[in-house]
Structure 1
Amino acid sequence: MASLYLFLSLITLFLTTTAASTATLDVTSAVQKTLDILDPTITPSSLQTHESQTDIKTGLLSFTLHPRSSLHHHKHNDYESLTRTRLARDTHRVDSLVNKLNFVLSGTNKSEMKPVVTTTEVTTDSIFRAQDLSSPVTSGISQGSGEYFARVGLGTPPQQYYMVIDTGSDINWLQCQPCNDCYQQTDPVFNPSASTSYNALPCGSQQCSALEVTACRSNVCLYQVSYGDGSFTVGDFVTETVSFGKSGSVPRVAMGCGHDNEGLFVGAGGLLALGGGPLSLPSQIKATSFSYCLVDRDSKTASTLEFNSAAPANSVTAPLLRNPRVKTYLYVGMTGITVGGRALSIPPSIFAVDDSGRGGAIVDSGTAVTRLQSQAYAALKDAFTRQARNLKPTDGFSLFDTCYDFSQLTRVAVPTVGFTFAGGKSLALKPSNYLIPVDSRGKFCLAFAPTDSSLSIIGNVQQQGTRVGYDLTKQVVTFSPNNC
């Protein structure tokens, strides 16, 4: 009897371990989405699925967030071509983040624009205390800039604009008339003369002094933001009213009014900065927290970007870390990765910021594919391929070197993948967050890539379907699966 009990216990342990080590990927559903996004007859069921609204008790305001694909029909004839375009844009994005980090840490400034010499100081009247704010989020894959767009009201009376949301930036900006050089956007270009709340900032203003690169013309503050991929925006630094749908508005938000804008921003009217610097939107409105949920990149639905809302009760928490050398990036206390329920042999120091300000891991809304320091990626790839020996391998694709042929399958069991954070908390990813289709014929790839940089980046493919929150008071990052 004792032997039988032991045997049954071992069988139970085996089954439990097996269940925890694999998860089921719905191949048919994923492939169908690649076909739907290519079909011009399929239109978004509702771009305003989540209307901006306010809760009388909490004062919560919200923007709707949209994926790129729901805003503008792309010109690609097949999903493989669309994927290659996405990955090329993603490479530019990562280069931009890494170059910005290296630029700051190098301590040099190559810009020809000279800092403004501030001779006077202003009060903080223009830096207001925010109520709880929120806005909808949409995927933006087909627009040419960013991956997700918030629908934001700007000016008085408010005009609606799609703005890229970017946790890796600090300066809010939009294209403005007159345009010396402007890229194509979905909405009409903002006209300052049509807004009664538009105000140019003087050179001695506190906001102007907070700019890293600025100049002065006729006592009007000028700004310049350059990105590592060669994109840039230049113009007047101003304050304007930001409206959250029908729920309310916030006055005197400092932002760039760009008259010369070039690069990868096609489609959006500008950029909503969610970084950690003093001029980002959360910092200006003194938000205690903000959160967003990114719907599937091929989805035509929407979600929300919220300010000062409470994290869901089922959230996985991780420390929110700051790099004293780089205020913009929001670092997360990541310590490891699991594959098949087993921790990989990766030193926690791989994901830590060192004394020089290098290293660490950030959660970025604008990067699609998670980039891992090369040692961490090698451990992930080796463990995954070893545990996925029953899957049919195929050639690599673009920046992906681990791909599989699921063309004859409708569903498939795959090794689980998860992130581990300081404090022992773990975030289990859905299979669709790490095995993604790259064409419509059943080719799927492991959606991670190595980087020569010491900076690891958790991208939005891994964030999809999870509400990611930043509690700026408690200094924690929260992950809430299935909370869009």
Structure 2
Amino acid sequence: MSNFTFTLLRFLALLLLFNSLHQFSAFQSETPTKRHDHFHIVEFNSLVTASTCNPSTRDASEEELLELVHNYGPCSKSKHHSKAKSPSIGEILERGQTRFNYKQLSANGENNQIGVKWDSSNTFEYVVSVGLGTPENNLTLVMDTGSSLLWTQCQPCTLGNIHGCFNQKDPIFDPSKSSTYTNITCSSPTCSLANATLGITGCSSSTCAYETGYQDGSIVAGFLAKERLSVGSGTFSDIIFGCSEVNVNLTLAGVDGILGLGQDFVSFVEQTSKTYEKVFSYCLPSKASEVGFLKFGKTNQVSKSLMFTQLGADYAIPLAGIKLGNTTLPINLTKDPVVIDSGTVISWLPSNDYITLRDAYRKAMSHYQLSEPFSILDTCYNVGGQSNLVVPKMSFLFEDGLVLDLPPIGVAFPINSTVVCLPFASNEAADGNLVLFGNTQQKTLEIEYDVAGGKIGFGYGVPASLPSLVSTVSCLCLPVSLTQTRCLPRSRLDGLVSCLPLSLGASLSLLAHPSLTRGSPRLKVCLSLSSLTVLGFSGT
């Protein structure tokens, strides 16, 4: 790197540091007894959904990524925004509780509902676009790791009829107009296997039929069929899917159906195993105004840095405990079933464990004013007027020693412009021991499900675009040469310049530009949600 470039980097770093001294002084005066290496310093606006979409700048063709967007955010193309009011945060949380209750019953073996393993609590948050049939029909489907069947509505059915179809974004699929559609007969091995694994019973005109009822009284019924399906750049023939013609008291909030990514044989993951080897990954955006991704198959680049642990049936994971700040809490989850789920908003803990976490969290957040509970969240704080928030770091601890640092939004969930809450809830069921790893704690993490290998990998997602840097990495070192990158945790950098929050701007793009950082002397950068900290230079 030229002397001019190096001098420019030094100048920009020092300039940004001096401009941030007053913010650091304010932080020290507000929390004089807290070690800031155990806390996130987060720009509050970085947690709040914007009114316009911040599209991804990723080159999707390189990794064959599908855009993954929040169904209720400005990046969603669903037309339901103009027809119906999006649910409030309170409604979404309450629906999430219904979904969790369903899963607790299933974990206890008490769910006697016949049919597809899926609940209809309308917590349908993250959607992707696929193509079905010939000619191709575009569909917007919910990504759901908690169910297996891919299904959508089919003609004939009547909109507005209580036993017909519900409003959806795209035209309802018409099998009679597709040259590649075929029914599955009752006598076929596929129908027999579906009956054994999904509880599908009954036939109609020798066609394999399915029907399922849910806790809220809604019913979905239709036929199993095979059809051509396009997902990203991949096209697959004879994909088994559910062609739903009867929907009673059911709505999917404007989307067209479900893309089930569970472990039953009808799952898209299982049906495409020869191509994708039963591997898929996703990264949920930090907020509804940003774009994440869904990918099938092993990730070429990022997977090398993933941290893996065991993955069991129903996507069970060996979560053992929780660390808050620098304290490992007296929580033992090894005796409880722990499931990771893309469709449940917050995380759930058994009652006693939740109380332990809540009490420690309240102590760590004592520099803010405790406010009234919100919906099912009982620990909330008034942070009005604060441009930056100071929130404790939280980590999930796994039985094999893996330590997963959660993103700031997984610790402080914004309810409105003045209130944040602890996004965990207590499992109050009498025999409630289910632990659930919800999607708020998954945001900005790259998560790879290797179903065939029986393992799941976690990594810290690469930002989709500047200046929206999203990471929970404590500290990051930019490349020191063309082939080498140095990275140190914050705990090993105490002798260097203190971590100071900086505003993002044009200078950030310059500092982070590959042409300037390649070959630079160990420039150490601390990343958090929409904040950058320059720790200093060492070496030449």
| TM-score calculated relative to the size of structure 2 | 0.70
Deviations 1:298-343 (A, max 9, x none): 2243423323435522222221122xxxxxx211111111111321
Bigger mean CA deviation after superposition, 69-78 or 310-319? 69-78
Cα gap change, 1:208/1:193 in structure 2, threshold over 3 Å: closer, same or farther? same
Q: Name the SS of the counterpart of 1:349 in structure 2.
A: coil
- Map of 1:191 onto structure 2: 174
**Of residues 352, 364, 377 in structure 1, which corresponds to 2:354?**
377
The answer as to 2:460 corresponding to 1:457 is no
**Contact in 1 for aligned 2:317/2:338 (Cα 8 Å):** yes
Post-superposition Cα deviations, 1:245-280, rounded to whole Å, max 9, x if no partner, equal 4x2301111111000124241211110111111211
Query: Does residue 216 in structure 1 map to residue 216 in structure 2?
Result: no
Match of 2:445 among 466, 469, 472: 466
Counterpart of 1:267, as a letter, is G
Q: Does 1:170 align with 2:148?
A: yes
Please, which runs of 5 or more residues in structure 2 have no aligned partner?
1-31, 116-120, 158-162, 465-540
Contact 2:322 2:328 in 1 (8 A): yes
Q: Amino acid of the residue matched to residue 66 of structure 1?
A: V
Match of 1:225 in 2: 212
Q: Counterparts in 2 of 1:51-450, with a 5 A limit?
A: 53=61, 61-68=64-71, 69=73, 70-71=75-76, 72=78, 74=81, 82-102=88-108, 105-106=109-110, 109=112, 111=114, 146-179=124-157, 180-211=163-194, 212-245=199-232, 247-261=233-247, 262-286=249-273, 287-310=277-300, 312-322=303-313, 329-351=314-336, 360-440=337-417, 442-450=418-426
Residues in 2 aligned to 1:77 and 1:193: alpha-carbon distance in whole angstroms: 31
**Conserved in 2, the CA contact under 8 Å of 1:420 and 1:427?**
yes
* Distance apart, 1:346 and its partner CA: 1.3
Counterparts of 1:277 and 1:448 in 2: how far apart (Å)?
A: 29
Evaluate the alpha carbon distance shift between residue 217 and residue 147 of structure 1 in structure 2; reply closer, same or farther with a 3 A threshold: same
Give 1:284 deviation, angstroms. 1.6
Distance 1:50 1:154 in 2: 25
Q: Structure 1 residues 109 and 411 mapped into 2: Cα distance closer, same or farther (>3 Å)?
A: closer
Measure how far apart 1:210 and its partner are. Answer: 2.4
| Residues 211-256 of structure 1: per-residue CA shift (max 9 Å, x gap) | 22221122100012334444432101101111024x2301111111
SS state at 1:91 partner = helix
Distance 1:256 1:314 in 2: 37
Deviation at 1:371, TM superposition (A): 1.0
Q: 1:403 to 1:331 in 2, by over 3 A?
A: same
Letter in 1 for 2:420: F
Distance 1:24 1:45, change over 3 A: closer
Does the residue aligned with 2:171 lie in a helix, a strand or coil?
Answer: coil
Q: Give how far 1:422 is off.
A: 1.9
Tell me the matched-pair count. Answer: 406
User: Structure 1 264/297 Cα, relative in aligned 2: closer, same or farther at 3 Å?
Assistant: farther
Say if 2:46 is the partner of 1:29.
yes
CA distance in 1, matches of 2:381, 2:88: 19
What letter matches 1:278 in structure 2?
F
Distance 1:350 1:194 in 2: 53
**Corresponding residue number in structure 2 for 1:3:** none
> Which digits, 9 at most, give the CA deviation of each residue in 1:129-163, with x for residues without a partner?
xxxxxxxxxxxxxx955110111111112111100
Please provide the CA RMSD for this pair: 2.7
CA–CA distance in structure 2, aligned partners of residues 472 and 479 of structure 1: 14
CA distance in 2, matches of 1:95, 1:365: 16
**Closer, same or farther: CA 209–386 of 1 in aligned 2, 3 Å:** same
Aligned to 2:491: none
Residues 20-69 of structure 1: CA deviation (Å, up to 9, x unaligned): 321112213334x3xx33xxxx3x355x866764x6xxxx7543222111
Does the 8 A contact of 1:435 with 1:445 survive in 2? yes
Q: 1:373 to 1:290 in 2, by over 3 A?
A: same
8 A Cα contact 2:334 2:399, kept in partner: no
In the alignment, the residues of structure 2 paired with residue 49 and residue 183 of structure 1 have an alpha-carbon distance, to the nearest angstrom, of 34
8 Å CA contact 1:289–1:469 kept in 2: the answer is: yes
Question: In 2 relative to 1, CA 172–399 (structure 1 residues): closer, same or farther, beyond 3 Å?
Answer: same
1:450 and 1:109 map into 2 onto residues whose CA distance is 24
- Largest Rg, 1 or 2: 2
Q: Secondary structure at the match of 1:313?
A: helix
Mapped to 1, the partners of 2:90 and 2:213 lie a distance apart of 25
SS of aligned partner of 2:312: strand
Q: State the alpha-carbon separation in 2 of the partners of residues 205 and 308 from structure 1.
A: 33
2:155–2:172 contact (8 Å) kept in structure 1: yes
Which AA in structure 2 matches 1:86? I
Q: Which residue does 1:129 correspond to in 2?
A: none
Q: Which structure's residues are more often strand, by fraction?
A: 1
Distance (whole Å) between structure 1 residues aligned to residue 278 and residue 320 of structure 2: 26
CA distance 1:457–1:412, change in 2 (3 Å): same
Q: Distance in 2 between matches of 1:29 and 1:78?
A: 24
Alpha-carbon spacing, 1:404–1:230, altered in 2? closer, same or farther (3 Å): same
- Distance in 2, matches of 1:337 and 1:273, equals 30
Distance of 1:52 and 1:482 partners within structure 2: 15
Provide the rounded CA distance (Å) in 2 between the counterparts of 1:417 and 1:206.
48
CA contact (8 A) 2:318 2:334 kept: no
For the residue of structure 1 that corresponds to 2:316, the secondary structure is strand
TM, length-normalised to structure 1: 0.77
Query: In the alignment, residue 240 of structure 1 is paired with which amino acid?
Result: E
**Residues 110/421 of structure 1: CA separation in 2 closer, same or farther (3 Å cut):** closer
Aligned amino acid, residue 166 of structure 1: D
* Unmatched 5+ stretches in structure 1: 1-14, 114-142, 323-328, 352-359
| Distance change >3 Å, CA 432–CA 76, structure 1 → 2 | farther
